[in-house]
Homo-oligomer: A and B are copies of this chain.
Amino acid sequence: MDTRHMRYFMALAETLHFGRAAERMNMSQPPFSRQIAMIEHTLGVKLFERNSRNVALTPAGKHFMKDCRNVLGQFEDACRDVRLIASGMKGELRFGFMMHAAHSVVPQLVQLYAEARPDVRLVLDERTPTEIDEMLVAGTLDAAVTFDCGYAPHLQAVLLARERLRIIMRKDHPLATAGQIGPDELRDEKIIAAPAATAPALRSAINSYFSAGGIVPRVVLEPRLQHTIIQLVAKGLGVALIPASLCTELGAGLTSRALSDAPQLDVVLRAPITTKNPAVSTFMEIGKSIQRTSL
């Protein structure tokens, strides 16, 4: 038994006429009759009651017809789907992103891609930049949005946006109403920043900003999550330098200010060059289209 035999059976079950069923199968009647006989023989089941005048389904044949319709449908679907998956029209894309990009490019990227490839299941995974790098290398992620940290072999990258850092503080903090803010003004401030092990690019940008002014920053707290940093600032435990896009939705007691010669960070979309997931390529393409509008 084979799907071909099921198709023969279905043709006869639907037409109840050997000649016409054979025609539908693009063959002549005699071999078709033989195939039907063969099917019945191998199954050991009489599927049709027939004489030289009439053809009718047996009860077993009626049930088999339903089952065959099912099986053939699923069979076709499987063949169709594997093509769609291979072409990137269907499947799954594991997409990582850092919190620092969650409010800017990520929503846009996700929305555009979901519109372009509605049958690809986007698995979103918020991670720290370091975790993202590891998972991209390990193949646990297909693509990710993170800060550009320079050299990365076997990873392709698309520049999505360039973000300036701003400083955030409580509204009752002296700096909230001060003039220009640069490294010098921050000399004695308690700084809250993610550790280098978690967000190397961000931390090194902050460090460079201070060391360019000859200052050693007083980093008093190093929480791993961006969320936590903002909460600690809100409790008055210090100030923090965070990407501008995260400053739009601060809590009530917080405010942000621009920095003089503010450090810039590149937000990139990354994926392994040797990715086997065909869904990635259009994801990267959509990244490029975002780049054109955001830069």
Residues of A within 8 A of B (CB): 1-4, 6, 43-47, 49, 58-61, 63-64, 67-68, 70-71, 74-75, 77-79, 81-83, 85-86, 91-92, 276-278
Contacts and interface: CB of A to CB of B under 8 A. Distances in A.
A83 B276 contact: no
B46 A60 contact: no
B59 A70 contact: no
B71 A78 contact: yes
Contact of A71 (B59, B63, B75): B75
A59 B85 contact: yes
A278 B59 contact: yes
A16 to B, nearest CB: 15
A273 to B, nearest CB: 15
A84 to B, nearest CB: 9
Contact of A78 (B67, B78, B86, B277): B67
A101 to B, nearest CB: 25
A125 to B, nearest CB: 17
Number of copies of this protein chain within its complex: 2
B74 A70 contact: yes
A91 B59 contact: yes
A78 B82 contact: no
8 contacts: A2-B2, A43-B79, A43-B82, A44-B86, A59-B91, A61-B82, A67-B81, A71-B78
A85 B71 contact: no
A276 B59 contact: yes
A229 B115 CA distance: 68
A78 B45 CA distance: 12
A134 B59 CA distance: 20
The list of the 9 closest CB pairs from A to B, nearest first, reads A67-B78, A45-B86, A60-B86, A64-B82, A60-B85, A2-B2, A71-B74, A63-B85, A71-B75
Contact of A4 (B2, B77, B83, B85): B2
Given A3-B3, A71-B71, A78-B64, A86 B46 contact: yes
Contact of A278 (B60, B70, B74): B60
A74 B74 CA distance: 9
